[in-house]
């Protein structure tokens, strides 16, 4: 993995002896220097352009990954009519949850190593109210169950059998979530039982047959943030978690402050990637607090990723974490550990915009 120069110590260099040059060499050297200078100026302009905030009109919605475009469309149908950000993010998150081509979210998600599809989700509104479920089986729309937890219980997080019991009591239908394709991939994985998260698998696994022996795919997240016409913020996060995870494993998505955080005075943030890394740093809360201190969404996400990289913990060197944020002014930004993280933006100007996040490699 390549880290930025700012994170590396400067190397001491001895001063070289200046060689003697004839006129032709001087001309050639001068041309080369001019080309290098021009290249440096071009790089500086590119960096400056990249540093400019992504400014969206209000209302707006942003979400992680390319498949966020379809989720944004459902959220935009709410926002464009003057609807609330909370209703928008729930509607948006339900789209990938129902998408049978999406193996990182919802009913088509790949199972744990024992063959159980377990879903996690969280939701948070402009008032700071929030709800979440983790390890939920047999319910296709965990984001809607999370909202019921927020609105109809005194609690924030329900897990496992208790979350399922609550969902059934609330009228959600019990369903078999392990699809034939997911079962095939799981059976293939059982032949070698290798477990290694793969960066950017949200893109690599979408609508692909991954039922090969030793397939190693890390399944992840749809994170969504919306700003409505009243300038209220809400967010949602939903996932089926890492494929072939240990039974009972829960990542950052249902953890308020890790996978999702909203502060209506400042902004909102969500995360994607290896959840353990995000939890260790309370990542989304950190991004929002950095925005409170005056950072742009982009710079706040960048610093949060830097914090993760500075932690001297045992991890796979190929891991990925990305953060996505939006502030009260409708500025959006993102940053990731490595290339490949994309996010979708939607406002009155464009409903299908996909941007590549900046990264440290």
Look at residue 127 in the predicted model and tell me its pLDDT.
98
The answer to whether residue 205 is catalytic is: no
% of residues, the chain, pLDDT over 70:
78
Residue 33 falls within a domain, yes or no?
no
Q: How many domains does the chain have?
A: 1
Say yes or no to pLDDT of 264 above 60.
yes
Query: 206: domain range?
Result: 59-359
DSSP notation for 157-207: EEEHHHHHHHHHHTTPPP-----HHHHHHHHHHHTT------TTHHHHSTT
Dig out the tokens for 256 from the structure: 């308020």
C-alpha to C-alpha distances, 223 to 149, 216, 310, nearest whole angstrom? 19, 23, 24
Q: 175 falls in which pLDDT band (50, 70, 90)?
A: very high
Residue 11 falls within a domain, yes or no?
no
Q: Number of H helices and number of E strands within the chain?
A: 10, 14
Q: 22 falls in which pLDDT band (50, 70, 90)?
A: very low
Say yes or no to pLDDT of 311 above 80.
yes
Residue 256 falls within a domain, yes or no?
yes
| Residue predicted with more confidence, 185 or 263 | 263
Q: 51 falls in which pLDDT band (50, 70, 90)?
A: low
Query: 70-84, 181-195, 281-295 — which is least confidently predicted?
Result: 181-195
Residues 219 and 203: their CA atoms lie apart, in Å, by 10
Q: What is the pLDDT of residues 84-115, one digit of tens each?
A: 999 999 999 999 999 888 888 888 789 999 99
Query: 35-44, 134-143, 330-339 — which is least confidently predicted?
Result: 35-44
Dig out the tokens for 1 from the structure: 């993995």
Dig out the tokens for 118 from the structure: 């377990």
Say yes or no to pLDDT of 48 above 90.
no
Residue 10 falls within a domain, yes or no?
no
Cβ neighbours around 180 below 10 Å, total: 8
Q: Which of 221, 238, 239, 270 is catalytic?
A: 221
Look at residue 9 in the predicted model and tell me its pLDDT.
37
What mean pLDDT comes out for the span 62-79? 96
Residue 208 falls within a domain, yes or no?
yes
Look at residue 315 in the predicted model and tell me its pLDDT.
82
Look at residue 24 in the predicted model and tell me its pLDDT.
38
Cβ-based burial of 195 (10 A; exposed 0-12, middle 13-18, buried ≥19): middle
Q: Is 237 in contact with 223 (CB distance < 8 Å)?
A: yes
Residue 142 falls within a domain, yes or no?
yes
Say yes or no to pLDDT of 209 above 50.
no
What mean pLDDT comes out for the span 131-137? 98
| Cis status, amide bond into 350, omega within 30 of 0 | no
Report pTM: 0.81
Q: What is the pLDDT of residues 178-196, one digit of tens each?
A: 999 999 999 998 988 766 5
Residue 22 falls within a domain, yes or no?
no
| Residue predicted with more confidence, 285 or 25 | 285
| pLDDT mean across residues, the chain | 83
Look at residue 290 in the predicted model and tell me its pLDDT.
98
Look at residue 96 in the predicted model and tell me its pLDDT.
93
Q: Is 281 in contact with 268 (CB distance < 8 Å)?
A: no
Residue 21 falls within a domain, yes or no?
no
Measure the N-to-C terminal CA separation of the chain; round to a whole number of Å: 6
* CATH number of the domain encompassing residue 112: 3.60.20.30
Residues 120 and 139: their CA atoms lie apart, in Å, by 11
Report the SS3 class of residue 333.
strand
Say yes or no to pLDDT of 46 above 80.
no
What mean pLDDT comes out for the span 72-94? 98
Q: Is 323 in contact with 298 (CB distance < 8 Å)?
A: no
Tallying the residues shown for the chain, one arrives at 361
Q: Is 345 in contact with 356 (CB distance < 8 Å)?
A: no
Query: 233-237, 299-303, 316-320, 343-347 — which is least confidently predicted?
Result: 316-320
């Amino acid at each position: 993995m390549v880290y930025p120069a700012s994170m590396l110590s400067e190397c001491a260099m001895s001063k070289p002896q200046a060689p003697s040059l004839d006129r032709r060499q001087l001309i050639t050297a001068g041309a080369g220097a001019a080309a290098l200078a021009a290249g440096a100026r071009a790089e500086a302009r590119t960096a400056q352009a990249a540093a400019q905030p992504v400014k969206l009109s209000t209302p707006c919605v942003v979400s992680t990954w390319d498949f966020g475009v379809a989720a944004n469309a459902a959220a935009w149908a709410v926002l464009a009519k003057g609807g609330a950000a909370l209703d928008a993010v729930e509607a948006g998150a339900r789209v990938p949850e129902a998408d049978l081509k999406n193996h990182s979210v919802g009913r088509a998600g790949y199972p744990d190593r024992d063959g159980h599809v377990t879903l996690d989700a969280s939701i948070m509104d402009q008032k700071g109210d929030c709800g979440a479920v983790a390890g939920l089986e047999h319910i296709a729309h965990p984001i809607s169950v999370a909202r019921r937890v927020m609105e109809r219980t005194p609690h924030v997080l329900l897990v496992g059998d208790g979350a399922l019991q609550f969902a059934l009591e609330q009228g959600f239908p019990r369903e078999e979530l392990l699809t034939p394709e997911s079962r095939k991939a799981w059976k293939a994985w059982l032949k070698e039982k290798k477990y290694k998260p793969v960066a950017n698998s949200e893109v690599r696994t979408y609508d692909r047959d991954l039922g090969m022996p030793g397939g190693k795919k890390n399944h992840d997240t749809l994170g969504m943030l919306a700003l409505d016409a009243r300038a209220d913020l809400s967010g949602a996060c939903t996932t089926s978690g890492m494929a072939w995870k240990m039974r009972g494993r829960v990542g950052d998505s249902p953890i308020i402050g890790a996978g999702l955080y909203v502060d209506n005075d400042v902004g909102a943030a969500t995360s994607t990637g290896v959840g353990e890394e995000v939890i260790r740093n309370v990542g989304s809360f950190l991004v929002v607090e950095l925005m409170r201190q005056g950072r742009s969404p982009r710079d706040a996400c960048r610093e949060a990723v830097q914090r993760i990289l500075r932690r001297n913990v045992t991890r796979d060197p190929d891991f990925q974490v990305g953060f996505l944020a939006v502030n009260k002014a409708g500025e959006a930004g993102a940053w990731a550990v490595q290339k490949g993280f994309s996010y979708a933006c939607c406002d009155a100007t464009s409903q299908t915009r996909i941007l590549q996040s900046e990264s440290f490699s």
